[in-house]
């Protein structure tokens, strides 16, 4: 039997850095937003999956067990608040960050009641902002 020891220099710094980054699942019904979010957030997160609806998001979160779920509040089947509540009941719940193109003030009561860690308006989404919310 041969044992392999891999050092940082063997596989390069970019692979090691990516292994240490938090994993992220993006749940949004707009493919264009998912693509933009993936591109913007890949600096600090390893995007492990995408879902276009709430049921698919719950299933992927259970399968992939991401560290963070970026979750749209308006989905075609189940709203993001219900998805956040379902994920909060998991044995090892991910950090949920809700997102919407709607103004935060329109959602204030629902956001206050939600188990989600934070809310970010879609036009303000950035890797720095999302990473800061996780500290």
Range of the domain at 52: 22-133
Which CATH number fits the domain that encloses residue 52?
3.40.50.2300
10 is a domain residue: no
Give the mean pLDDT per block of 10 residues along the chain (135 residues): 37 52 98 97 97 98 98 97 98 97 92 96 95 88
pLDDT at 51: 98
Return the SS3 of 62.
helix
11 is a domain residue: no
126 is a domain residue: yes
4 is a domain residue: no
Domain count, the chain: 1
5 is a domain residue: no
- Please state, as a whole number, how many other Cβ atoms lie within 10 Å of the Cβ of residue 92: 6
Query: In the sheet that 23-27 helps form, which strands lie side by side, from edge to edge?
Result: 46-51, 23-27, 68-72, 95-100, 118-121
**What's the pTM?**
0.85
7 is a domain residue: no
């Amino acid at each position: 039997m041969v044992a392999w020891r891999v050092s940082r220099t063997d596989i390069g710094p970019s692979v090691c850095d990516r292994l240490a980054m938090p994993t992220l699942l993006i749940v949004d019904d707009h493919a264009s937003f998912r693509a933009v979010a993936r591109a913007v957030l890949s600096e600090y997160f390893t995007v492990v999956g995408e879902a276009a609806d709430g049921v698919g998001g719950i299933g992927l979160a259970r399968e992939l067990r991401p560290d963070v779920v970026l979750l749209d509040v308006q989905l075609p089947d189940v709203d993001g608040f219900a998805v956040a509540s379902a994920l909060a009941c998991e044995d090892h719940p991910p950090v949920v960050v809700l997102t919407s193109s709607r103004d935060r003030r329109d959602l204030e009561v629902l956001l206050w009641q939600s188990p989600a860690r934070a809310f970010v308006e879609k036009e303000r989404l950035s890797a720095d902002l999302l990473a800061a919310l996780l500290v």
